[in-house]
Structure 1
Amino acid sequence: MTTTVRRPGTGGGPSALPAAVSASVPQVGAPGRDRFLDVLRLLVMGLVVLQHWWLPVLTRQPGELAATSVIGVDGGSTLTWFVQVMPLIFFVGGASNLLSWRSASGRGSTATAWVARRLRRIAWPVVPVAAVWIGAAHLLSVGGVPEQPVSVAAEAAGMVLWFLAVYVLVVVATPVLAAADARIGPWAAVALFAAAGLTDAARIATGSDTAGYANVVFVWLGLHQLGFLYARGALRARQGAVLVAAGAATVGVLALTGLYSPNMTGVFAMEASNVFPPNLVLASVGALQIGAAVLLRSWISAWADRPGPARVLDLLCPRLMTVYLWHMIPVSVVSGTLVYGLGVDTPQPMTVSWLLFGALGTAALTPLVVLTASLTARFEEPPRLLAGDPGPILVLASAALIGGGLGALTGIGLGVGWRPLLALAAVAAGLLLMNAPRLRRVRPVG
C-alpha cells in the first residue's frame, strides 16, 4: 500500500511512509505532492549509508577483525554532530502518520486496522533480510570461515533495526497522540520534551543509564509530534525560527554543564552517546534541525518540484526502506574484501589517506547498494494474505512481539545461534497473529 503525501494545509488525503522511510511514486509534478518531505527522507537515508561506511575503523589481526570507530580519535565526536539526522525521519514520519491516520479514520477505518497495516509494513521486510543474514552466517560458519569477522558483520547488520523497533512504538501511539494534538496542539510536544528533561534529571541523579531509557518514548515521540504540527500547517517559518533558537540555546546550556557526551551517534560508538539512551541534547538538536528545515522549506520545495529533481526523488524514494534494510550487505562485502581479504586496513581517521579511502569505497559501494536494492525491492510489500483488522488485543500483542523481536535482533545481531532465530520467530509470530480474524462477541442466550 503506497499513497501520496500531501502538502500541509491542503486538507486530507492519504499519506504513507512505509516504516517512515519509503514513499509513493506519483507522476512528476503531481498536484499537492510535498517533495520537501521526500528531500528529508533522501537526505537521512544517504547519510545513514555513508555513516556505516565512513565511521567504522577496521583492522585485520590474526584470526579476527578489530572494529573501532572514528569517534574514538580527536575530532571524531565533532563529526557526529553533522551526520546525526535521525530526528528528521521521526519528524517526517509524524507528518505522514497524521495525514494517513486522518485519511483512514475519515474512511471509517478503525485505529487497530490502521496500526496493523503500518506494523505489517514495518515487520514484513525484516523477515527476508534477517533470514538471509542468519542463513549466510550459519553457512559461513559451517564452511570454516572464522566466526569473529562474521560476527562483526552480523552485529552491524542487526544494529540498523533499532529504528524499526522504536517505530513500532511510534505507530501504536499515533492514534492516541493524534487525539492529543487535536486537543492541546503544540503542548503535547512540549509535555513530551519536558518529560525527557525530567528523565535526564533522574538518570543523572541516579547515575544509571537504565533510568534514561524512558526517553526512548519521550524524545522520539516528541520529535514525531512536531511532524503532526507540520502536517496540519501549524509549523511555519515563525515556529521554525523558535525551534532553531530554543534548540540551539538548550544545546549550548546543556553542553556547558559537562554532563552530556560530545558523541551524537550510537553508530559503532566506543563510548557513551546522546542516542543510547536518547536525551534532551538529542531532542534539542532535533528541534534545531527541524526548525532549520522548515525555514528552508520554500527553497527546498522549489528545487525539488523542478522536473529533474522530481524525477530523481520519484525514482529513489520508493526504495529507501529497502536500501535501509539491505545496504549492510554491500557494505560488509566491500569492507570484508578490502580489510579481511586483501589486508587493506582503514587508514588513520581524519587524514588525507582516510578521506581518499572513504571516497573510493563510496564510489565502489554505490552501484552495489543500487543493485542490491533493485534485486530485493520485491520483499518490501507484505503479501496480500497478511491483511485484516485483528482488534485491539491481538494488535497490541503483535506489536509487543514485533517490537521485542526487532529490539532483540538489534542487540544480538543477525548471526549464528538460536537467539537470532528466536528473535526472528517473534517478529514472524507478530505478523501471523495480526492476520487472525477479529474475535466476534458471543451474544448471551435469552
Structure 2
Amino acid sequence: MPAESGARSASLAGPLVRRFRSAVRTVEERTPPHRDRAVDGLRALALLAVPLGHWLLGGFTRGPDGALHNASPLATLGFFAPLSWMLQLLGIFFLVGGYSSVLSLRRATARGGTTGRWLRGRLLRLGRPVLGVTAVWAALLPVLSLLGVPDTTLRTGAVLVVQPLWFVAVYAGVTALTPYCVRAAQRWGGWTAVPLLATVAMVDFLRYGPYAQQVPSWLGLVNLLPGWLFGYQLGACWGVGKLRRRGAAVLLFGGAVLFAVLLAVFGYPASMVGVPGEARTNSHPPSLLVLALASVQCGAAVLLHERIGRLLRRPGLWAPVVAVNLSAMTILCWHQTAMLAAAVPTARLGTVAGLTTPPDSLGWLVARLAWLPVFVVALVAVGSVTRRFEPPWRGAGRGARAAAGALAAAFALYAFAVV
C-alpha cells in the first residue's frame, strides 16, 4: 500500500511540475530583455509584506455572542514591534512607484501621448479594483446580516477591508504629482527630498514638543503628503539618474542613525503601525520615524539593485515575481477578505487558536503561523474571481458601472460611519 500511495502521488505531481515548468518558460520568453527585474522584485516584496503584516499583526477576539472584534498582538507582545519594521515596506513601494512612473511617463510622451492621458490611465488602474471590492462588500453586508452574522462582525469586516484602501488614495495623490516630481528631481536631484523630511520633522516637533498642548489635533494631517511623497520623490530622482550609490549610502546610514536617535532619545513608539490603547502612532499620519525607516529601505534598495537583478535572472524566481505584480491590486484589495473568509464562519463554531482567540501569547503566534497557508489559499481562490476588476471593464455597460459606483458609495458611507 505505501508503494502504491507513493506512485499515485508521483503520478499526480508529475503533470503539476510540468505545467509549472512550462509556465516558467513562457514567462521567461515573454520578458523583454530591457525589463528591470530588480524593480519588479522590490515591488513584489513590498506588496507581499502588506498581507503578511496584516495577517501577523492583526487578530480577533470573539465575544460571547460570537461576534468578532479587532485585536492586535502589539498591545501585549512588545517584541512584535521590530517585526513591524521588516513588514512595513511602504518606503520601498513608493520608491519603485516613483521610479516606474518616471519611466512610464517618459515612454508615454515619447509615443506622442499627453501627461493628462497618462495620469488618467494610471488612476483608472488604481480605481477599478477599489471600486470592485467596495461594491462587492456593499452587496455582501445585507446578505451576511440575513445569514445571521452579527452586526459587530460586519463592522469589524468593514474596518479591515477599508484598512489597506487608504494607501490607494495616498498613492493616487502622489502619482498625480509625478510631472512636478520629475522636474524637481531633474533640477535639484536628491535634495528635493530634504524639504519633505524637514516638514515632517517640524510637524512632529509641534505635535510632541513643549508646545503640544497648544497645537490643534488635526495638525498631524499635514504630514500625509510630505510623509508619503518622500519615498516617491526619491524614486523620481532614481528614475532620472540623480540618485546613485553614494546618495543611497547616505540614505541608508543617515536613516539608520536618525531611526536610532528617534527611538532612544526622543521616545518615538517602536511599532511602525498603530497599537490599540497607545496615544501616539507612527503611521497614521506618518511620523519622522517612518521617513527614517523609508530612508534606510530606499538606500538599501538602490545599493542592492544590481544584485537583485542578477538573482532574478533565474526563471524559477522571476516567474513568481511576475505573477505577484500582475495581481498587485487584487492582493492589496482582497487579502483582508481572505482572512475574514476563514474567521467569520469559524467564529460560529467557537474560539479557534490563532484565529478567534486573543492575540496575547506565543501560542497564538504559533497557531497564527499555521493559519497563513489557509489565508493564502483563500486569497488565491478569491483573487481568481476578483482579478477581473483590474483590467478595463469592457464588457460592463453603463448601467452596471453605475450600479457598481452606487454600491461602492454606499459601502464608503457605511465604512466612514463605523471606522
Fold similarity call, TM over 0.5: yes
Q: What TM-score does the superposition give when structure 1 sets the normalisation length?
A: 0.77
Whether 1:294 and 2:294 are equivalent positions in the alignment is: no
Letter in 1 for 2:170: V
Partner residue in 2 for 1:65: 68
Counterpart CA distance in 1 for 2:119 and 2:273 is 29
Counterpart CA distance in 1 for 2:262 and 2:187 is 31
Whether 1:380 and 2:386 are equivalent positions in the alignment is: no
- Long gaps (5+) in structure 2: 1-26, 397-404
**Aligned pairs for 1:26-105 within 5 A:** 27=29, 29-63=31-65, 64-73=67-76, 74-105=78-109
- Long gaps (5+) in structure 1: 1-24, 387-401, 423-446
Partner residue in 1 for 2:155: 151
Counterpart CA distance in 1 for 2:168 and 2:305 is 27
Whether 1:369 and 2:379 are equivalent positions in the alignment is: yes
Percent identity between the two aligned chains: 33
Moved more, 268-277 or 278-287: 268-277
- The 3-state SS of whatever aligns with 2:327 is helix
Partner residue in 1 for 2:132: 128
CA separation of 1:158 and 1:341: change in aligned 2, threshold 3 A: farther
Letter in 2 for 1:47: A
Letter in 2 for 1:72: A
Partner residue in 2 for 1:334: 342
Partner residue in 2 for 1:443: none
Shift of 1:370: 1.3
Whether 1:206 and 2:216 are equivalent positions in the alignment is: no
Partner residue in 1 for 2:145: 141
Partner residue in 1 for 2:21: none
Counterpart CA distance in 1 for 2:179 and 2:348 is 48
Letter in 2 for 1:84: Q
Letter in 2 for 1:129: V
Deviations 1:4-28 (A, max 9, x none): xxxxxxxxxxxxxxxxxxxxx7845
Counterpart CA distance in 2 for 1:340 and 1:92 is 43
Counterpart CA distance in 1 for 2:31 and 2:147 is 52
CA separation of 1:51 and 1:335: change in aligned 2, threshold 3 A: farther
Whether 1:359 and 2:369 are equivalent positions in the alignment is: yes
Partner residue in 1 for 2:247: 239
Letter in 1 for 2:242: A
In structure 1, which of residues 160, 166, 173 is the aligned counterpart of residue 164 of structure 2?
160
Deviations 1:224-251 (A, max 9, x none): 0111122233333322211111101111
Count, aligned residues:
373
**Aligned pairs for 1:299-310 within 5 A:** 299-310=307-318
Tell me if structure 1 keeps the 8 A contact 2:353–2:364. no
Letter in 2 for 1:102: R
CA separation of 1:209 and 1:77: change in aligned 2, threshold 3 A: farther
Letter in 2 for 1:176: Y
Higher helix share: 2
Shift of 1:384: 5.2
CA separation of 1:143 and 1:334: change in aligned 2, threshold 3 A: closer
Q: What TM-score does the superposition give when structure 2 sets the normalisation length?
A: 0.82
Tell me if structure 2 keeps the 8 A contact 1:134–1:414. yes
Moved more, 255-264 or 90-99: 255-264
Shift of 1:359: 2.1
Tell me if structure 1 keeps the 8 A contact 2:353–2:367. no
In structure 2, which of residues 314, 331, 338 is the aligned counterpart of residue 323 of structure 1?
331
Counterpart CA distance in 2 for 1:43 and 1:338 is 30
Counterpart CA distance in 2 for 1:255 and 1:318 is 37
Counterpart CA distance in 2 for 1:236 and 1:414 is 45
- The 3-state SS of whatever aligns with 1:67 is strand
